[in-house]
Amino acid sequence: MRIHNLGFPRIGQDRELKFALEDYWRGELSAEQLLTTAQNIRRQNWQTQFQAGIDFIPVGDFALYDHVLNTSLMLGIIPDRARQPDLTPLDTEFLLARGRSQQGCGCNASDMTKWFNTNYHYIVPELPSELTLDVQPERLITEIREARQQGFTPKPVLVGPLTYLWLSQYDDDPLTLLPTLLAGYQKLLDALASEKVDWLQIDEPILVTELDKPWQHAFISAYNQLKFGPIKPMLATYFGDITHQTHWLGELPIKGIHLDCSHDLDSVVPVINALPEYWSVSLGVISGRDVWRTDLNELHDQLQPLYEQLNGRLWLAPSCSLLHCPVDLNKEQRLDRELYSWLAFAKQKCQELALLRDALTSGDTRAIEHYSEPVVNKSSSPRITHPKVRDRQARLSQRERTEPYAQRKQQQNQRLGLPPLPTTTIGSFPQTQDIRQTRARWRKGDIGDEQYQQQMQAYIGDCIKQQEALGLDVLVHGEPERNDMVEYFADYLEGVATTDFGWVQSYGSRCVKPPLIYGDIQRTKPMTVQWLQYAQSLTDKPVKGMLTGPVTILQWSFVRDDLPRSQVAEQIALAVSDEVEDLIQSGIRIIQIDEPALREGLPLKRRDWEDYLVWAVSAFKLASARAPAQVQIHSHMCYAQFEDILPAIEALDADVLTLETSRSQMALLDVFKQQAYSNDLGPGVYDIHSPNVPDDNWLDTLLTRALEVLPPERLWVNPDCGLKTRNWPETKAALGAMVQAAKRQRHKL
């Protein structure tokens, strides 16, 4: 039996890659130094996996910026604007990844979007209608040689041709480009064959989705066209099961298949039985998407019959690439011992595989019994199950607000007295160096609570003053106390822990540190009240309370695997509703519950959408359920693809919904018009990702256009997301223009 890995985090155990990239981009590190850092990380990663006992080490999973971008570069799929004679390959790579801001150079970055339902973002390949390839396998070949020289057995990894096409941007049916693309893949295969590659991992995660017939046919014909020669292809599927594809998969001329069985081992048995008997079967039994220690003992017992049945054909692996895990648990010093004993990061997951293999092959289960002990004890720990929380869930009666929107609207109008086209912002104001430093110093204990509070209040005071001067109608406190909109709340929730080094790559050099939801959730004390109360004390205008919604907190955390996500969301919703209650008690009249991650929580299979949307929407409604009619509930969402979940967005029944609309402004309004969206709407009038101040013409056109769709009393005027990444001068100029534009429209009414 073999154990292998599908991919390892590339950011480095101390985020070396992040820092090297950023130094390089600032011009403080040479290309050579950057490449040396990258080489060291690869060596370290391979060593870690090898020392853990992994047989086949993935090679080609590493990327300076993104592995999909690497695939494009390897195939020579480079848009014309990045084909400039004076650019080095490294320049081209970063130009596509990040763009270049020089005036008029037209060197915008390629789009970036989520890698399936993870929080990793890939660079979307841009396919021209006249696709010509220029295959450059050198980088991959070099890495294969590098690994061999260091004594490892490499198993190269490629993004498969069908998945690559599916992830690309193309105006027409992308399948028409398949023949050209396959010719390129063939060249890659030939190069790998000359390099005497044995096993090759080809990632085709799109098999998890419900592929329609043309794509299924394309799969069969594509793989039958490719000549693998001596290479043994292992088709890797992950992020869910592929039971629905088994009836045709056997026609693929491959030598092995990897199946994600992190959720359910039983359901793979019929899949295995339906596949050709000569295929190797890699079972992804260790979850690559979470941070929990595996109960190897239980897994061992479940695997035993399969081990006997498959024998030498059986491989074991994590369910997917470990890219989505933090690197090494050993670095966490602050976590208490019990919690620590429930966890496993990427390095530990590799060790789990080896332990499992050893137990299966030797029949000696003592080591895995010992290893699994904390997981077994976990279920009876009082930190996991909280009778009070369970009781509250069981007795829940009020799950949504009682009055309908029309009635609420009337009461809110009376209480708030806002003008038509009210102006507001999404919550955060510029996060200055100063404010970041203050937070860091307070966390380290360098400054005390009092000094911290003073400095936060000074920022809040300034924010309020600026907003009043600009003439905004609904103010915010500016969120200076938050490093991150999820981590901040996690620190106040029982059942949720935060780590010091649990970094996971989000895109390029950007990493996030998702909180760990390990047990039943309860709010320990008010989370935002003191800041909001202070802000409101400084002004007569309404200050909007700012909370992160239950679905977003869930989506951007590592979530326990012993309770359905819907239940965890409900617990978070209750904690948020406690905060809503306290804010209302302290005199706050408007509360925004942000749900930017609602859409990205959608399951990969369409047939599971409905189920998800039902519980996600009810979690949001539960969070806002205790707001009486005269309290106005706002929500905010990012990412422009709302079309296909519009009924769910309507079902949230927020009094006001503000949306990121950036470039798709017009299209989005049409959608809302057609669907006769009935509540208040604030389609963002300018893109906060750019430092440019929106010009008056643009603002006037947009608002005029929006007024054709929405009556003035239901149209809000706001930027399309929070302002934390902007600086103050830009912010003041842009908001000033926005407020003036709203005033111009009001005069016309």
Q: How far is the CB of 550 from Zn ion (least distance, A)?
A: 17
Q: Which is nearer to ligand GLN, 560 or 636 (CB)?
A: 636
Integer Cα distance of 262 and 254 in angstroms: 23
Which of ligand GLN, Zn ion, none has residue 724 at its interface (CB below 5 to 8 Å by kind)?
ligand GLN
- For residue 497, which phi and psi values (nearest 5 degrees)? -120, 155
Which of Zn ion, ligand GLN, none has residue 536 at its interface (CB below 5 to 8 Å by kind)?
none
Q: How far is the CB of 227 from ligand GLN (least distance, A)?
A: 47
The amino acid occupying position 624 is S
In the window 586-605, what residues touch Zn ion (CB under 5 A)?
596
Q: Do the annotations mark residue 315 as ligand-binding?
A: no
CA atoms within 13 A on the CB side of 243: 11
Q: Do the annotations mark residue 162 as ligand-binding?
A: no
Q: Do the annotations mark residue 426 as ligand-binding?
A: yes
Q: Which is nearer to Zn ion, 318 or 596 (CB)?
A: 596
Q: Which helix (H) or strand (E) holds 643?
A: none
Task: Number of residues interacting with Zn ion: please give it, by CB under 5 A.
Answer: 4
Q: How far is the CB of 229 from Zn ion (least distance, A)?
A: 50
Q: What's 664's DSSP letter? A: G
Integer Cα distance of 422 and 594 in angstroms: 19
Q: Do the annotations mark residue 525 as ligand-binding?
A: no
Which of ligand GLN, Zn ion, none has residue 621 at its interface (CB below 5 to 8 Å by kind)?
none
Integer Cα distance of 400 and 625 in angstroms: 4
Q: Give the other-Cβ count within 10 Å of 330's Cβ.
A: 12
Q: How far is the CB of 478 from ligand GLN (least distance, A)?
A: 9
| Closest residue to Zn ion, based on beta-carbon distance | 721
Q: How far is the CB of 434 from Zn ion (least distance, A)?
A: 24
- Angle made by CA atoms 451, 542, 553, in degrees to the nearest 5: 65
Which of Zn ion, ligand GLN, none has residue 546 at its interface (CB below 5 to 8 Å by kind)?
ligand GLN
Q: Which is nearer to Zn ion, 127 or 591 (CB)?
A: 591
Which of ligand GLN, Zn ion, none has residue 325 at its interface (CB below 5 to 8 Å by kind)?
none
Q: Characterize the bridge pairing of strands 280-286 and 256-260.
A: parallel
Q: Which is nearer to ligand GLN, 143 or 720 (CB)?
A: 720
> Residue for token digits 């270049």?
100
- Residue 370 annotated in active site: no
Integer Cα distance of 478 and 546 in angstroms: 9
In the window 383-412, what residues touch Zn ion (CB under 5 A)?
none
Greatest extent of the chain over all pairs of C-alpha atoms, in Å: 82
The amino acid occupying position 469 is A
The residue ranges that bind ligand GLN (CB under 6 A) are 426-428, 485, 546, 594, 596, 636, 638, 721-722, 724
659 lies in the site for Zn ion, by CB under 5 A: no
Q: Do the annotations mark residue 660 as ligand-binding?
A: yes
Q: Do the annotations mark residue 600 as ligand-binding?
A: yes
Q: Do the annotations mark residue 682 as ligand-binding?
A: no
Q: Do the annotations mark residue 93 as ligand-binding?
A: no
Integer Cα distance of 267 and 497 in angstroms: 33
Q: How far is the CB of 643 from Zn ion (least distance, A)?
A: 18
> H helices within 64-212, ranges in order?
67-75, 89-98, 138-149, 161-167, 178-194
Structure tokens, 574: 């209750």
Integer Cα distance of 579 and 529 in angstroms: 8
Which of ligand GLN, Zn ion, none has residue 640 at its interface (CB below 5 to 8 Å by kind)?
none
Show the site string, 710-749: x = touches Zn ion by CB under 5 A, - = not: -----------x----------------------------
Which of ligand GLN, Zn ion, none has residue 594 at its interface (CB below 5 to 8 Å by kind)?
ligand GLN
Q: Which is nearer to ligand GLN, 495 or 682 (CB)?
A: 682
Which of Zn ion, ligand GLN, none has residue 293 at its interface (CB below 5 to 8 Å by kind)?
none
Q: How far is the CB of 442 from Zn ion (least distance, A)?
A: 26
> Which listed range, 450-458, 583-591, 658-666, 725-733, lies at the site for Zn ion (CB under 5 A)?
658-666
Which of ligand GLN, Zn ion, none has residue 423 at its interface (CB below 5 to 8 Å by kind)?
none
Q: Give long-range contacts, CB 8 A cutoff, 24+ apart: 727-732.
A: 727/430, 727/691, 728/430, 728/432, 728/466, 730/691, 730/693, 731/429, 731/430, 732/466, 732/470
Q: Which is nearer to ligand GLN, 258 or 634 (CB)?
A: 634
Residue of 217, 247, 263, 689 marked catalytic: 689
Q: Do the annotations mark residue 510 as ligand-binding?
A: yes
Q: Which is nearer to ligand GLN, 136 or 432 (CB)?
A: 432
Pick the closest to residue 480 from 453, 450, 459 (CA basis): 459
Integer Cα distance of 615 and 594 in angstroms: 17
Binding residue (CB under 5 A) for Zn ion from 286, 638, 681, 706: 638
Q: Which helix (H) or strand (E) holds 155?
A: strand 154-159
Q: Do the annotations mark residue 17 as ligand-binding?
A: yes
Q: Do the annotations mark residue 15 as ligand-binding?
A: yes
Q: Which is nearer to Zn ion, 353 or 638 (CB)?
A: 638
Q: Do the annotations mark residue 538 as ligand-binding?
A: no
Integer Cα distance of 627 and 218 in angstroms: 53
Q: How far is the CB of 664 from Zn ion (least distance, A)?
A: 14
Q: Give the other-Cβ count within 10 Å of 403's Cβ.
A: 13
Pick the closest to residue 637 from 719, 720, 579 (CA basis): 720
Q: How far is the CB of 323 from Zn ion (least distance, A)?
A: 25
Q: How far is the CB of 476 from ligand GLN (least distance, A)?
A: 8
Q: Give the other-Cβ count within 10 Å of 179's Cβ.
A: 12
- 668 and 642 in contact (C-beta within 8 Å)? yes
- For residue 689, which phi and psi values (nearest 5 degrees)? -75, -10
Which of ligand GLN, Zn ion, none has residue 143 at its interface (CB below 5 to 8 Å by kind)?
none
Q: Characterize the bridge pairing of strands 504-507 and 510-512.
A: antiparallel
Q: Which is nearer to Zn ion, 296 or 721 (CB)?
A: 721
Q: Please report, to the nearest 10 degrees, the dihedral formed by the alpha carbons of residues 405, 410, 412, 414 taken in order.
A: 180
Coil, strand or helix at 495: strand
Residues in the chain: 749
Please enumerate, by residue number, every residue annotated as part of a binding site.
15-18, 114, 119, 426-428, 479, 510-511, 556, 594, 600, 636, 638, 660, 721
Binding residues for L-homocysteine: 426-428, 479, 594
- The annotated binding site for 5-methyltetrahydropteroyltri-L-glutamate is made up of 15-18, 114, 119, 510-511, 556, 600
Q: Interface with Zn ion by CB under 5 A: which residues? A: 596, 638, 660, 721
Q: Cite the active site residues.
A: 689
